[in-house]
Amino acid sequence: MNTRVHTISEPAQTARSIFDLLGGEPGVRALVDRFYDLMDMEDDLKELRAAHGPSLDEARDKLFWFLCGYFGGPDHYIQRFGHPRLRARHLPFSIGEAERDQWVACMGRALQDAGTEPALVDRLLESFYGVADWMRNRAG
Ligand code: HEM
């Protein structure tokens, strides 16, 4: 089991090449759009969808800005909002095991649909799992 402590300010290893490998800003935008399209559409992601408001437009922009920096590209999110403080920013939403697992599954499908190399998908999902698990704020 992976016991490393994940903090959102810790850049992913070889982050710059991850941003490039994913196709820079157009690639990350397409990934995020696919992520929210899937969340909106797939029956087994409905608890995750229900935790969001009626519109996903703001979430799309914010996750795009955040992931550009997280993958080692431009820090669009920090420039607009300062430190991500993701755990604190997610406290208004109920996050348990189902929401954590659905977020990671949704991202896995979006990465696969983008044609991302399987080894990179595994590595990114491991890292996202750590972050999503740390954001749980509800038992069960
Ligand atoms: C690794 C996992 C995750 C990452 C990297 C992530 C990232 C983000 C970011 C960057 C924002 C924008 C924060 C802001 O400025 O307000 C956000 C918003 C949000 N996240 Fe997450 N998140 C993750 C997991 C989750 C999970 C598991 C849930 C389940 C409930 C969730 C629900 C939401 C909701 C409801 C919003 C507000 C969207 C809006 O503005 O309309 N997130 N997330």
14 pLDDT band, cuts 50/70/90, is very low
Candidate from 36, 70, 86, 100 with most ligand 1 atoms within 8 A of CB, to mutate: 86
86 pLDDT band, cuts 50/70/90, is very high
Residue 126 has pLDDT above 70, yes or no: yes
Atom number in ligand 1 closest to CA 131: 1
Residue 112 has pLDDT above 70, yes or no: yes
17 pLDDT band, cuts 50/70/90, is confident
Residue 109 CA: distances (Å) to CA of 35, 102, 106: 8, 10, 5
5 pLDDT band, cuts 50/70/90, is low
140 pLDDT band, cuts 50/70/90, is confident
Q: Model-level pTM?
A: 0.90
Q: How many Å lie between the centroid of ligand 1 and the Cα of residue 1? A: 25
